[in-house]
Structure 1
Amino acid sequence: MNRATAKQDRAGTETPGGVGGEGEPRPPVLVIDDDPAMRAGLRQWMRLGGFEPLEAVDAEGGLAHVNERFPGCIVTDVLLPGMSGVELLRKVKAIDPDLPVILLTGHGDVPMAVEAMREGAADFIEKPFDPDVLAAVVRRSAAHRRLVLENRALSRRLDDMEGLEARLLGECAEMRRLRAEISHYAATDASVMVVGETGTGKEVVARAIADLSPGREGAFVALNCAALPESMVEAELFGHEAGAFTGADRERMGRVEQADGGVLFLDEISAMPMALQPKLLRVLQEREVDRIGGRAPVPVDIRVVSAVNIEPREAVERNLLRQDLLYRLNTIELRIPPLRERGGDARLLFDSFANRFGADYRIDPPRLSADDAEVLAAYRWPGNVRELRNAAERFVLSSALERPSLRALVTGGEPGREAPARGRLRDLMEDYERRVIADALARHEGRVIDVMAELDLPRRTLNEKMSRLGLSRP
């Protein structure tokens, strides 16, 4: 390598606006042009912009570099020897419709370029052009390509997962245990009570149980007992005959009957009025329901999954739930851990949500900064997965206007500031220890030897801590 080339390479690495950060591979840009001087200029501009240029003098040579895994974009002249740039575009789109192709055109080639845009070109730039304009277009196309490949990798990962692992993302020990329990107990017909804080995904667990329940081809019917006025719960749950009360102008099937042959999900069961709980208990015992104003009971075959966001026995002590009904509902008790106790799962879930929203809104989600990653690990997520999902959606949407601060989105504070955590000292210390080890694992890409050296821990001690804290190597 001569001095000039070395100087260019160093300049490309250090350019503030460059794409390839320190230690990161430069995104490749395939430059196709039969003019040696133009290729030389493009090569220099690409390196200064933080990209790694690949070169070809014609379309055939350029296509040799292209496949569906190509991680960059293509910059090509429209007028090439043999195959034109527009024909090249069609062949590239046949290989991978999401691979960005940027066309360089002379003044007389604009109609051809407009046609190419209809064919799916990412952009076209008329010669002579401003290198900064080209760099901006390439940077935008490279970011789009990165997002496409990340989404594909995530989709492949989810496709490779079994159904439960894809629906209940998480690598901590508690989530692996929960998935194993769902797989085991769903095969039975026992009643299940799901215990977890608000926003942890209790309905997702209930739907998974319903989908895995053999012989349950009926509907999955959900009722949030806290979302209805007390006067409506009985009619909503058990149904009524025409004329049973004022306004009941026709018969109506209740949620219990709607779930016949399937699964009835009773969310926030502790919010059900105490006066109705004996009637529900009778339905579960007798497997028949009495409509309001009905003359004869209607037989039903249902599996019941219920959910509470407080400890079931505490609900009984507070006179929110009858003890005999609890015994009928919690034959099996499944517990969902709060997000603050799931170690590195917050980052996995956030990436999944951000990629999903990026695809939905056609916005390239920005990469997480070091401060963003710290917030994901340190924030206690009182709203659990629901709050994290909301933060990911806001993070993606706000990135269309400016570089968002995840800390400001989730805490309402300025970057670098966060309200001090509260709780038992033991829990706070454990949370801090989990965060330190998780950050070290991520920083060293799972290389345990490097983590041991940084934290000055013997392997056995590190393994014990990782097991206790629900951490695994990324």
Structure 2
Amino acid sequence: MSGSAGAAAGGGAGGVSVGGRGPVVFVDDDPDLRRATAQTLKLAGFAVQVFDSGAAALATLGPDFAGPVVSDIRMPRMSGLDLFERLRAIDPEIPVILVTGHADVDLAVQAVRDGVYDFIAKPFDAARLAGAVARAAEKRQLVLENRRLRKAAAEIGEDAPLVGETPAIKRLRDTIRQVADAAVDVLVLGETGSGKEVVAALLHRWSGRSGNFVALNCGALPETVLESELFGHEAGAFTGAAKRRIGRIEHASGGTLFLDEIESCPPAIQVKLLRVLETREVEPLGTNEKRRLDLRIVAATKVDLGSPAARADFRADLYYRLNVVTLPIPPLRERKADAPLLFALFARRAAERFGRPVPVITAAIRQHLERHDWPGNVRELMHYADRVTLGLEPAATEPEAASPAEAPDGTLHELVDRYEARLIRDALARHQGDVRATVEALGVPRKTFYDKLKRHGIVRSDFGGTDG
């Protein structure tokens, strides 16, 4: 069989996959083994392409290849080790799995130390091969995802509007563009942390209004202070008013006034706001002078003011006056596909801010991004990215449990021993070798702890700290 005609199943090696678990290349000069292995991997859900030589495989492989390469070590002209070196020059992060005979195991072990992803000794069973390829494929997908997200995040400016590519966030951006330059007030509805002020600022930026963007949280100030902040006052208007103050409403004339948590506005202030909305005039405290305004108001709420029960003591007439256009912001749980890009962006900014390296998205981070419901929305995700960048988030480093199809080889006793040893090493590393803290964290007696160190061959001093 010629190498150029060696495709046994699936798509080409450029990374366009028709298999459910992605592409894989298998290289071996034995035609029977090629056929059998192609069938095994195809049944496991991979898009397989087989070649009878390393040179033939290299002709189709590039840095965009989306899967692992499995190769026999012993082949004429170009060995599996030679192929590995050539692939490392193309992209050092393409996972390479070597198939080796019993006599070459030591050679394969050294190759793993040199960067080969894994090796499988002949004869191997189908489950062992499929499991190794699945883990390598997942690693490759993570590498490519990190590259794509880093590139996308680097292209996003500091003032980029509403980052995301899901249909929900695209619709929101389109709607903002449609109403931004219209002379209408807007009500923004969104959960805590969903980006209500970002939407308001975007409305202002795209409106073309030359005045200020002025923001005020109605729930953050007591009523007396809020009234002065909003409407301003003249000198002597009340005790302590030593000089004139321009209120937020007047300061926003010609621009946009953003009132966050409008549902928290006291009833007396609601009456005055309604008057401002109807007349486009403001009357500061301590004067009968009415001042004309060129004003656009964007109000934000985290409750549905259209519902009488949710509206409570919020005035219905003020709600209807504000509700010319309502912009609902989708919560992050309804657009989770945007979470990896948002994480990459926030992690890059956090790394610049803290002077730390940009963290990669591990399998554990990806799983957390996919499974967590993000009740705090984008703000919660931003803080999570900060913690990961600072190395404070355990989920960033904890390995995922292997699925049954991908479980490592060994008896139950051997697997439990390996897992126990890993937990002990992790605990020692986390507590920098401090025995007292490690014993407390693991919840075992000190003698038991030392017995386990001896049984697993773990040297406590390798982790620093003291015996405590």
TM-score using structure 2 length: 0.55
Q: 1:48, 1:406 → 2: CA distance?
A: 26
Task: Tell whether 2:322 aligns with 1:329.
Answer: yes
Is 1:262 aligned to residue 255 of structure 2?
Answer: yes
Asked if the contact 1:225/1:266 (under 8 Å) is kept, the reply is: yes
Q: Which residue of 2 aligns with 1:20?
A: 93
Q: CA deviation at 1:154?
A: 3.1
Deviation per CA, 1:161-197: give whole Å up to 9, x if none: xx99x31111221111101100001120100000010
User: In 1, Cα distance between the equivalents of 2:253 and 2:309?
Assistant: 28
Q: For the Cα contact (< 8 Å) 2:218–2:260, is it kept in 1?
A: yes
Find the partner of 2:198 among 204, 217, 234.
Answer: 204
Deviations 1:337-374 (A, max 9, x none): 11001131111211111122223333223322222211
Instruction: Kindly provide the amino acid, as one letter, of the partner of residue 204 in structure 2.
Output: A
Amino acid at match of 2:93: G
Match of 1:186 in 2: 180
Distance of aligned partners of 1:178 and 1:23 in 2 relative to their CA distance in 1, 3 Å threshold: farther
Residue 239 (1) aligns with residue 232 (2): yes
> Deviations along 1:394-435, whole A, 9 cap, x unmatched?
110117xxx842499xxxxx977xxxxxxxxxxxxxxxxxxx
Alignment-derived partner of residue 114 in structure 2: 48
- Trace 1:384-399 onto structure 2 (pairs within 5 A): 384-398=377-391
* 1:153, distance to aligned residue in structure 2 (A): 5.0
Relative distance call for 1:272 and 1:367 in structure 2 (3 A) is same
Which residue is equivalent to 2:47? none
The aligned runs of 1:339-350 (5 Å cut-off) are 339-350=332-343
- Which amino acid in 2 is paired with 1:189? A
> Structure 1: how far apart are the matches of 2:388 and 2:152?
21
CA contact (8 A) 1:170 1:349 kept: yes
Cα 1:366–1:317, aligned 2, differ >3 Å: closer, same or farther? closer
Greater gyration radius = 2
Question: Partner residue of 2:154?
Answer: 155
* Cα distance in structure 1, aligned partners of 2:81 and 2:236: 85
Q: How do 1:109-120 residues align onto structure 2 when only pairs under 5 Å count?
A: none
C-alpha distance 153-376 of structure 1, shift in aligned 2 (>3 A): closer
Change (3 A) 1:315 1:252: farther
Query: Matches of 2:82 and 2:221 in 1, distance apart?
Result: 65
SS in 2 for 1:261: coil
Does residue 405 (structure 1) correspond to residue 356 (structure 2)? The answer is no
Contiguous gaps of at least 5 residues in structure 1: 25-43, 52-145, 409-413, 417-474
TM-score by length of 1: 0.54
Q: Deviations over 1:200-239 (max 9, x none)?
A: 000000000001113x100000000011122211001101
Contact 1:199–1:387 (CA under 8 A) maintained in structure 2: yes
Q: Quote how far apart the aligned CAs of 1:48 are.
A: 1.5
SS in 2 for 1:344: helix
Question: Paired residues, what number?
Answer: 287
Give the superposition deviation at 1:49. Answer: 4.5
2: distance between equivalents of 1:298 and 1:367? 55
Give the Cα separation in 2 of the matches to 1:339 and 1:23. Answer: 37
Alpha-carbon displacement from aligned partner over 1:303-356 (angstroms, at most 9, x marks no partner) = 000000011123675433111101111100000011001131111211111122
Q: Is the 8 A contact 1:339 1:385 kept in 2?
A: yes
Distance verdict in 2 for CA 1:286–1:47, change over 3 Å:
same
Matched residues, percent identical?
A: 43
Q: Which residue of 2 aligns with 1:111?
A: none
- Report if aligned partners of 1:261, 1:300 keep a CA contact under 8 Å in 2: yes
d(CA) in 2 for partners of 1:7 and 1:335?
A: 57
Q: Is the CA contact (8 Å cut-off) linking 1:407 and 1:415 kept in structure 2? A: no
Q: RMSD between aligned alpha carbons? A: 3.6
> Unaligned 5+ residue runs, structure 2?
1-53, 55-72, 98-109, 118-144, 402-468
**What residue in structure 2 maps to residue 362 of structure 1?**
355
Structure 1 residue runs of 4+, over 6 Å off?
Answer: 10-13, 44-47, 146-150
Q: Partners of 1:391 and 1:280 in 2: how far apart?
A: 38
2:218 maps to which of 206, 215, 225: 225
Structure 2 vs 1, CA of residues 9 and 395 (structure 1 numbering), >3 Å: closer, same or farther?
farther
Q: Give the equivalent residue in structure 1 for 2:271.
A: 278
Counterpart CA distance in 1 for 2:297 and 2:311 is: 23
Structure 2: how far apart are the matches of 1:153 and 1:317?
A: 40
